[in-house]
Amino acid sequence: MEQWVDVQTLIWLFPIMFILHDFEEIIMVERWMKRNSTIIYDILPKRIADRVIKQFSMSTAQFAVVVLVIFLFVSSSTVMATNM
């Protein structure tokens, strides 16, 4: 694999792919939960469904802040990994 892509390039691709993936989630999570909350209650046991709904019942702005904190951790870890 190293003959195609350098290891440091692969390490730097992780935060890039993380943020691209989370941009999609930031945009869609609130609307998806509103649309599918009844389906969640139909599929999962009530106790588990309550936990899932509670966990994802945040606004888009709140979710974006959580993603930012995780992204800062991932980015700082990437910087430390590439500087060693």
Q: How far apart are the first and last CA of the chain?
A: 21
Phi/psi region, residue 5 (left: phi>0; alpha: psi -120 to 50; beta: rest), is beta
Dump pLDDT digits (tens) for 35-69: 988 999 999 999 999 998 888 788 888 889 999 99
Would you kindly state where each structural domain of the chain is located, as residue ranges? 7-76
pLDDT at 18 over 80: yes
- Element of type H or E holding 6: none
* Predicted TM-score (pTM) of this structure: 0.73
pLDDT at residue number 2: 54
